[in-house]
Amino acid sequence: MLNFHIRIFLTLAVILFSLTCCNRNTATPVSSTQKINRIISAAPSNTEIIIGLGLGDHLVAIDKYSEDITGIQAGLPKIDFFYPDTEAIIGLAPDLVIANEINSFGVADNPFKMLGDLGIRVLQVPTSAGIEGIYSDILLIAETLEVKEKGESLVQSMKDEIESIASPAGERRLSNRKSVYFEISSIPTMVSFGQGAYLDEMIEIAGGRNIFSDQRGWFSPSAEEIISRNPDIIFVLVYGGEDAAGEIINRRAFESITAVRENRVYGIDANSASRPSQNIMLALREMSRALNSE
């Protein structure tokens, strides 16, 4: 149970940090004549992108929350997601460290700046609030790792699938889109989001309408607000072994909500929904199936 709470915290940290960013910071590929053979990834989304580019065998260390990612080599050293051990990183002799803005969120001294000062190349990837930002992250990492064409192909495959989902969903739901409440967490309080998040975009692509589309960024709605907006569908992030959908269905006072009465509460894979990489497509497929199952 403790591990579950830690994962909820990390999910919130990634999503909420992305939603509080007013502007997307820009980053440019790290230039060097030295070939990049040894990579350390300090964030799960970056790890997923690296593997998606076919370069998983170049990883010499990952953050300690990437262990469940398909394609990870067994026995890779793990670094702390928020407070990386700079000495351990230096000892691994990486050609490149790929970090994320979330790594230094709330940290007074950016540990990755220190690595740069010591001569270790660091690519700090902006935290993406929108799907276009995820495309940019993939292309940035691909260009830095000198596999630009693979990055372009990965992005194009995402765009093609999004189009294949969005077109029929739009035709079917143009006049009567089902309303959706998406719960990120109920610990310690309920958390959802409005405009400005890729999850909000994904609801629209899948053929739904976010009941909090009049809000912006993340916030904590009250039970009364959710009940009064009476969503047709409820999505909730789930990790393996957790019955998050069942908890909502059995939540006191929610029995009057249409989604609960009609048993339309769906768990969405937490990792694919909360990590801004090409793997958001899994969550999008799950959302589309739920919204268009009738």
Tens digits of residue pLDDT in 17-53: 454 444 454 454 555 567 899 999 999 999 999 999 9
80-101: average pLDDT: 85
- Residue 76 confidence (pLDDT) above 70: yes
pLDDT at 259: 97
Nearest to 281 by CA among 162, 177, 184, 142: 162
- Fold that domain 174-291 belongs to in CATH: Rossmann fold (3.40.50)
Superfamily of domain 24-146, CATH level 4: Nitrogenase molybdenum iron protein domain (3.40.50.1980)
pLDDT at 105: 45
Q: pTM to 2 decimals?
A: 0.87
pLDDT at 196: 87
Q: Which residue has the tokens 């799960």?
A: 44
pLDDT at 46: 95
Q: Which residue has the tokens 């953050």?
A: 63
In CATH terms, are 24-146 and 174-291 the same topology?
yes
Phi, psi of 128 (to 5 degrees): -90, 130
pLDDT at 83: 75
Query: Which residues does 157 contact at the CB level (< 8 Å), separation at least 6?
Result: 278
Q: How far, rounded to the nearest angstrom, does the alpha carbon of residue 45 sit from its chain's CA centroid? A: 7
Interior angle at CA 182, CA 63 and CA 68, nearest 5: 25
- Residue 291 is encoded by which pair of tokens? 């919204």
Nearest to 244 by CA among 291, 180, 179, 185: 185
Q: How far apart are CA 248 and CA 121, in angstroms?
A: 46
User: Exposure pattern of 40-68 as b/e (b: 16+ CB <10 Å)?
Assistant: bbbbbbbbbbbbbbebbebbbbbbebbee
pLDDT at 64: 83
Q: How far apart are CA 236 and CA 52, in angstroms?
A: 26
**pLDDT digits over 127-152, tens only?**
788 999 999 999 999 999 999 999 99
Domain boundaries, the chain: 24-146, 174-291
pLDDT-derived band at 102 (thresholds 50, 70, 90) equals low
In the chain, the largest separation of any two C-alpha atoms, in whole Å, equals: 63
Burial of 31 (0-12, 13-18, 19+ CB in 10 A): exposed
Interior angle at CA 286, CA 6 and CA 155, nearest 5: 90
Is-contact 281 289, C-beta < 8 A? no
- Residue 67 confidence (pLDDT) above 70: yes
